[in-house]
Structures are given as structure tokens and as C-alpha cells.
Amino acid sequence: MDIARLFLWIICTSCPIFLIRAASVSFRNNRGWITISSTILAIALLISSFNSNLAALIGGILWIFFLLIPSIGFSQVNRLTHQHRYREARQLASYLRWLHPADGWQERPKLLLALELAQRGDFCEAITIFNSYHKNNPSSIRHTQALIYWMKSDWKNCLLWFQQQIPKKVLLNEPNLLIYYLRTLGETGDLNSLLKSIKLYRKSLEKLDNVQRDRARMLALAFCGQVTQVKQLFNGSLNGYSENIKIFWLATAQMVAGKTEVAREQLLSLRMSNDFILSNAVEWRLGHSLAEPTQVLDSIARDIIHQIVTEIEQELKYKNMTNFKSKKLYVTNGLITINFIFFLIANVLGSSEDADTLDYLGALIPQKVWLGEWWRLLSANFLHFGWLHLTINMLGLYFLGRFVEVAIGSSRYLTAYLISGVVSMLAFSILTIQFGDKEQLLVGASSAIMGLVGVIVAMFLRDWWKEKSRIASKRLSFVLLVVAIQFLFDFTTPEISFLSHILGLVTGFTVGSIFLIK
């Protein structure tokens, strides 16, 4: 398999993913992404019908400039916006909008300029810009009105506006507006409605990115005095928020939790901030008492906040499992080293793409295994056909292996890896002798790596089944999507063995399930 073919496959899988994601969030608000993804996919497929190399080149250029760069760049704009770094966000958006002049990005610099002016205290000029922003777009009008209330911390009038002007249907379809509604409920002390709205509009919140979803949870946790969980969010997905914003919301949580003096000192330290939007929020917080959760929450709301706290704890568990900085991952590093050593030996003796050299070093050939050369069931897992084959497999081993090694321990991880590789090679040999080419040559660590995927599936399935963990359910869905894409790749690439991959997956799942039984 050459690079052009691999890149073409990446284009043909990532474009549909962009399409599905954009359409599921909001077809109307993501028509630009949908159009661009569809166009790039159509061009790549059309050209590939007569020249795959040219399709990879043209499709790749279009993919990089109109999907990859804008998606990374717009994520950075959103990150800067969350940090209240509006000037930098505006400057970046002014360049990126020409790569993606749709879905509101052409006007985004104007909106960020208004926020920048408001941050400096020029509210009149900011409101003028807001009022001219998308005059004929009801959704934009609603969003800018919510922004005006937010800038001024005018939460009482904001609540009246939501109650009188914004029906439930609008909140269901506009999750970004929903964030302002949730904050309004918290600021005005209606904690029961805040928590019940998070549950009621959960599907709408799922359409937002991770930062915005966790912002909604952070609001609930802060207004309910859950200081520890607010800190955990700020150490996780909300880590990109500015220090002043973190201080403000931690002080809010502490104030609700009864640490009034500490909270007031922290808020007073923000009072003279150059950020006038934040200064308004501080003045409101100091001048209005917060609701006491123990006195106002009903049983349903208490259950909801308990569920949110439980979710945060489950996420922290998975985060600790992916924190590799302080862990010595001897098995993963050792396996990668062995694979590279075998690759170097193959190239010294001849070539890693030479069948005779691979045969000499122990490639799997079912007929020879049947005649007694059982060691090939193990050695074949450490041989690779060319540098591209090796690179793809080692990247997979590096990312998946570290997670599994931390999750189940080094000895179990190595056992699962070797059993998955050897058993899948044995089953492949038996099936091939019975129904296929007995002289077929097979090499690669992919069967053992798919075994690691099977272990991960078993792990997430157990957590979802036993703990009803939403994060385990989401990650399980993601892993299954990756498996489906991998099998699609196998079917469209004759050089890759679909059979050995599915055998490795099933073996890994079985071994992982046994290891996880308590």
C-alpha cells in the first residue's frame, strides 16, 4: 500500500465523518462544512476513477486547506474566545474566514470586535455592532441579545427575556443560547430549574463541543457549591479558561459552600480587572446573595447534581489512566523496540518487502506452521512489510498500548498482547489451510494490536454495564466506530487481512473480559 492510496483513503473516510458530525449538530448552521466536505469527497472520487495519485494530490490539497486548517484554526479561535482573549481571536478569525466564508465565519471578526470593545468598557459601541449583526437572522438576533445581557450581568432582565421571548423549541435547537439560559437560572437562584434544564436539554448540549458541554456542567456545580468538581473541570477540559475566569467560578462555588470570606477576597481581587465584562460579573456576585442548595433543591434536582458529580469522578478515573508522564511503560516501549529491531534485521539481510527474507525470519505461512514450524505464530507478529506498514502499526501500538498497560497492568497487558497475536495467527492458519491459500504469507503486529482494541472494548463495556457510566458509553461508541472504519479499510485494501484483524479483536475481547472479572 503506497502513501497516495493511504492519503486518498483518509480523505474518503474523514469527509463523511465531517458530514455526519456537521449534519447531526445543525444542518442549517453548518451548511458550509457540509458543502465543502461533499465537494472534496466528490472531486477525490471522480479523479480517482482514472488516476488515484492525482486524486490524492488534488484531494489532499483541498482537504488540508479547506477542512484541516479551518477546523484546527476555528478551534483555536474558540479557545481564545473562552479565555476572553478577543483581540487575538478576532485577528485569527479575520484570516481563517477566507478559507471558510460560510456558517457565520465571515462575520465572526465583527462579533469578536464587539466583545473586545465591551471588554475595554465601550459598551455603547459594542451594542451598536451587535445590533447591526445579522439583522435578518433570528438566531443571530437572539444570540446577540443574550450576549448584551451577559456583558452587563443584567440577569433579572435576561430571565424575563427568556421567559417571555424564548420558547422551549428555540432552546432545543440552539444549544449555544441554552448556555446563557442555564447561567441566568443560576444567577437568579433557580437551581431546581437549572439542574432540570440540564437533564431536559441534554441532547441539545451533546451537540456542543466538549468545552461548552463542560461549561454547562461547571455552572451547575459552581452554583451548587461543588468546589472539588469545579477544580477538576478546570484541570481538565476547561483548563484553557483564563486564570481570572477560574478564580471567579471557584470563588462562586466556595461562596455557596460557606467559605464566604475566602470567596469575597478572591472576588475583590478581580474587581479592578481591565476586563469590564468580568468586573460587571464580580459586582453582581458581590451584590446579590446566592441560593443555598441544601435549602432549595428538591429530590429530583439533588439526584441530577449527584449524577453530574459521579460523571466527573468517572472521567477523572479515565483521565488518570491516560496520564503517562509519571509512568514507566516498559512493555509498550519494549514491544516497539523489538518490532524495529526485526525491521532493521530484515533490511540488513535483504529487504523488509522481500518475501524470501520475511520467510527466513519467521513470517506466517500456514502450510509451514502445519508442518511443525509453530514458532512462526509468534515471530510473524514482529515482522512488517515495508516502512509504511511498520509506521502505522507502531503508531497504533504506541497510543493503544500505553492506555491498556496503565489500565490493566504490565503483565496482563503483555499476556493479552501475545495471546491475541498468537491465537489469531493460529486461527488464521487453520482457516486458511481449510479454505484458502496454504502458502499465503502474513506478517504484522496488527492482529495483536486489534487484540488491545478488544481489551479496551471489554473494559468500557464493563464500566457501562456495572456503573452505567456515560463516559464509558461514549468512549465505547467511539472505539466501535474506529473498529468499523478499520474493517472498512481492510475490505478496500487487498494487502490487509480482514480475517486476522477480526480474530485478534475477538481474542483480545475474550482475554480482556477474563482479566476484568472480579
Nearest to 364, CA basis, from 430, 443, 458, 450: 443
Alpha helices by DSSP H, listed for 84-224, are 86-96, 108-119, 123-131, 138-152, 155-165, 168-173, 175-187, 191-200, 202-205, 210-223
Helices 387-408, 330-349: inter-axial angle, 10-degree rounding: 160
d(CA 307, CA 327): 31
- Could you say which of 84, 100, 389, 501 is catalytic? 501
295 alpha carbon, distance to own chain's centre:
37
- What is the rounded (10 degree) CA torsion for 453, 457, 462, 467? 110
Contacts 24+ apart (CB under 8 A), 33-40: 33/100, 33/102, 33/103, 35/102, 36/66, 36/67, 36/100, 36/102, 37/67, 40/11, 40/15, 40/66, 40/67
d(CA 410, CA 397): 14
Q: Which residues contact 261 (CB under 8 A, 6 or more apart)?
A: none
- Residue 364 three-state SS: strand
Q: Give strand pairing partners of 362.
A: none
Alpha helices by DSSP H, listed for 224-298, are 227-234, 243-256, 260-270, 276-287, 293-296
Q: Radius of gyration over alpha carbons of the chain, in Å?
A: 28
Place of cell 487484540: 451
User: Is 288 tagged catalytic?
Assistant: no
Buried b (16+ CB within 10 A) or exposed e, 156-175: eebbebbeeebeeebbeebb
Burial class (CB in 10 A: 0-12, 13-18, 19+), 287: exposed
d(CA 64, CA 75): 15
Neighbours of 178 (CB within 10 A): 25
- 364 φ, ψ (degrees, to nearest 5): -75, 120
User: Is 299 tagged catalytic?
Assistant: no
- Could you say which of 153, 446, 447, 497 is catalytic? 446
Residues with a known catalytic role: 446, 501
